[in-house]
């Protein structure tokens, strides 16, 4: 039911919903590495207060990538976006990263926010909100490119330059 504006004051009791449960859990990484330098992505991360670093030199690391099985944009526009519905799985791989790749360590005050924004299956992350769309589908739509965000699962020395 709906309330209509009036001059009469009335107390209304609404349910208090404070228990949130994860729909899915993932292993919290030591860091994320993004191998595309997109100013929109960087700006959104900085707007959220995320500290960003850059690889000092070319590096090969054991990481967890994400392999897409399906990407479906929603049929309706929502706040200027066609939200993506993602299906896929995590894949362990040895990956070469170029100097200047973005490194985001999760051992910072907003580590949980970082995971929420960068996890591919997050229900409100940057992938869902189309920030990586330019990097995912080939020109003719016949295949998916890898998600350009990789997870470093174990703590290790990564030489970086601060932003």
Domain assignment present for residue 124? The answer is yes
Domain assignment present for residue 102? The answer is yes
Domain assignment present for residue 30? The answer is no
Give every residue of the chain whose pLDDT is below 70, as ranges: 1-3, 81, 138-142
Number of domains in the chain: 1
CB 66 within 8 A of CB 87: no
Domain that holds residue 44: 39-156
Domain assignment present for residue 5? The answer is no
CA distance linking residue 82 with residue 155, whole number of Å:
36
pTM of the model: 0.82
């Amino acid at each position: 039911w709906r309330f209509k504006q009036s001059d009469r004051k009335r107390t209304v009791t609404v349910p208090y919903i404070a228990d949130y449960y994860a729909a899915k859990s993932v292993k919290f990484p030591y860091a994320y590495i993004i191998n595309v330098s997109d100013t929109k992505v960087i700006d959104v991360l900085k707007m959220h207060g995320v500290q960003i670093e850059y690889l000092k030199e070319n590096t090969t690391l054991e990481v967890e990538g994400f392999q897409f099985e399906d990407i479906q944009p929603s049929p309706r526009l929502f706040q200027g976006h066609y939200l993506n519905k993602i299906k896929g799985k995590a894949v362990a791989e040895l990956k070469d990263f170029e100097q200047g790749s973005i490194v985001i360590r999760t051992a910072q005050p907003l580590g949980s926010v970082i995971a929420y924004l960068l996890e591919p299956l997050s229900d409100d992350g940057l992938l869902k909100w189309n920030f990586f769309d330019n990097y995912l589908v080939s020109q003719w739509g016949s295949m998916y490119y890898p998600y350009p965000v990789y997870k470093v699962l174990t703590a290790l020395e990564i030489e970086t330059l601060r932003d």
